[in-house]
Amino acid sequence: MITRVIQSLQSVLVTTCEDQSVKIEPEVLNARQYKEDSIVSEISQFINQPVRSLLIVPLFDENSSSIGVILLVNKNGLNNFTEPNRNLLQILGQQISSIIRDKNLLKEYLLKQTIEKEIDVANRIQQKLIPKYPPQINGMDIFAINKPAKTVSGDYYDFLKHDPEGKKIGFVIADVSGKGIPAAMIMSMTRAVLKTQVADNYSPASILQRSNSFIISDMENNRYVTMFYGMLDTETLDFTYSKAGHNPPYWLHADTLAIDELDANGFFVGMFDSVSYEEKKIRLSRGDKLILFTDGIVEAMNERDEEYGQERFINIIQKYHYFDAKSLVDKILMDVEDFVGGAPQSDDLTLMILNAENFEYKQIVIESDARSTVATAEFFGDLARKNPACGLDPFEVMMIIDEVVMNAIEHGNKFDPEKKVFLSYVFNDYKFELTIRDEGEGFVVNNVFATHEKLSLYDKRGRGILIIKNLVDRIEYNKEGNEVRIVKYFK
């Protein structure tokens, strides 16, 4: 009977007439079925008297799925339940259903909050595993970036020393199949294994082979890692490399702007027990660039489900061939973002560029006081006036400097005279770039990004940041939240 009530999605009133016949409204079952129903006899035994009248009201969740029933038996006295009784119980049932739904939603919300906190912790741990800065190599300009599609990433890059003197440096970029937490865990395992294989080992093929032997035993079915490993001899610029099913990096020749792919045979890491990897060697010339990337770049999708593609990727590399490593990364990501438009990021993006050419930033250290802010703004305003070809308005430059430096002094160092503000900048024929770092505790970077999306000119507190955001091409914060980088490109 209870099942039929639930299936009917209606409340049911059962009454006993004077002639002892049974009336069921609505008739979800007949009198004979009612009398033979085991639930009726069980109720009678439980209350130790015959069942004269029943009132049953189903309870539902937001999807009209049953979550239970209210069942009343034998109204006080000898009277049957009536239609007004049913109407009242239906109202009560709706309220009870709502309370249960709210309680379930609260449980789901609290569970989601717990999961989100755990994922946030996983993100912070993973960010600590990714190198904070590239290696400083005389005659080389190196930059890399990782942008997860979700909170954590299955992509990975690293810089590894093969010898104590740092004359041979390893460059690795990898992509774990899948995304999210499982991929991030495999990435962490891969990183740990690789770090045990490089000391005094100068063969990328051997490193991949030995890493595969360790990883294969702990890899789940249908999981694998694509990887590219290259080792740079910092004295000769010889670059020895092997590849495990990864996208071949591009080698941009400075003299001709021709691009070669650094391809080599080798299966994915973690897929087969016995594998071998081909090893090749090239020699870089001054000004050459190596562009290492994961498939999230070339397979980035726009709103029409079109891929960014290799042709567009190569075109942007050749167009800005004379840019330094960090600027070329910027231009590539800006072009990808422009192509993708409003479509959500579908895969992790990782990009590493090795530029066989020196690129230096000038350094300034200032005190944490208002006077330093004014002097610094005037200094950069003068730079803009002396370089009119760049098209920068000196007043806008001073406004930018005043805002970001004051933020570092006030919110970062909190006007502590013992703390300094560090500025690193470059002003050349294609960009103005400034990085400002304070000695404060930092802040939650994701909260700042969320605030940026909501700012308007009516928000007094964030008006300066909004203006800066509209004056420059890039504004980025470091993982710790105590460093901001702004860039304005002229070309």
pLDDT digit of tens for each residue in the chain (491 aa)?
Answer: 677 766 767 788 888 887 777 787 887 777 788 787 778 888 888 888 888 888 888 887 777 777 788 888 888 777 888 888 888 888 888 888 888 877 877 787 778 777 777 777 766 766 777 888 899 999 999 999 998 887 777 888 999 999 988 899 999 999 988 777 788 888 888 898 999 998 888 999 999 999 999 998 888 777 899 999 999 999 999 999 999 999 999 999 999 999 999 999 999 999 888 899 999 999 999 999 999 999 999 999 999 999 999 999 999 999 999 999 999 999 999 999 999 998 988 888 999 999 999 998 999 999 999 899 999 999 999 999 988 878 888 998 999 999 899 989 998 999 999 999 999 999 988 999 999 999 998 876 555 544 555 544 444 445 667 778 888 999 988 878 899 999 999 88
- If asked whether residues 170 and 190 sit together in one domain, one would say yes
* β-pair partners for 291: 250, 353
- Given 355, 381, 397, which residue is the final one in a domain? 355
Tokens, residue 490: 């002229």
350/426 same-domain check: no
Clarify whether residues 341 and 390 are in a common domain. no
Q: Is 137 left (phi over 0), alpha (psi -120 to 50) or beta?
A: beta
Exposure pattern of 229-248 as b/e (b: 16+ CB <10 Å)? bbbbbbeebebbbbbbbbbe
> Looking at the domain assignment, is residue 33 inside a domain?
yes
Do 174 and 226 form a contact (C-beta atoms < 8 A)?
A: yes
Cβ contact 412:448 at 8 Å? no
**Structural domain contains residue 121:** no
**Domain membership flag for residue 252:** yes
Q: Does any domain span residue 151?
A: yes
The parent domain of residue 195 ranges over: 130-355
Which residue among 355, 378, 400 closes a domain? Answer: 355
166 domain residue, yes or no: yes
Please provide residue 215's backbone torsions phi and psi, each rounded to the nearest 5 degrees.
Answer: -75, -35
Asked whether residue 108 is domain-assigned, the answer is: no
Question: Same domain for 276 and 153?
Answer: yes
178: left (phi over 0), alpha (psi -120 to 50) or beta: left
pLDDT the model gives residue 246: 96
Same domain, residue pair 351 and 368 = no
Closest to 268 in 3D by CA, of 257, 279, 277: 277
Question: 197 and 97 in one domain?
Answer: no
Q: In what order do the strands lie in the sheet with 12-16?
A: 22-25, 12-16, 54-60, 66-73
Residue that finishes a domain, picked among 338, 355, 372: 355
Q: Are residues 264 and 335 in the same domain?
A: yes
Check residue 463 and give its pLDDT.
60
CATH number of the domain encompassing residue 437: 3.30.565.10
3-state SS of 325-387 is: HHHHHHHHHHHHHHHHCCCCCCCCEEEEEEECCCCCCEEEEEECCHHHHHHHHHHHHHHHHHC
Cα separation of 210 and 191, whole Å? 13
CATH number for position 99: 3.30.450
Cα of first residue to Cα of last residue in the chain, in angstroms, is: 77
Q: Are residues 36 and 12 in the same domain?
A: yes
Contacts of range 212-219, beta carbons closer than 8 Å, 24 or more positions apart? 212/244, 212/269, 212/270, 212/272, 212/275, 213/273, 215/189, 215/190, 215/269, 215/270, 216/270, 216/271, 216/272, 216/273, 218/189, 219/186, 219/270, 219/271
Do 336 and 453 fall into the same domain? no
Q: Are residues 44 and 170 in the same domain?
A: no
Does 207 map to a domain? yes
Residues 6+ apart with CB under 8 A from 468: 399, 400, 403, 404, 475, 486
Tokens representing residue 146 in the block: 């990782």
CATH number where 325 lies:
3.60.40.10
Residue 392 and residue 350 share a domain: no
Do 420 and 345 lie in a common domain? no
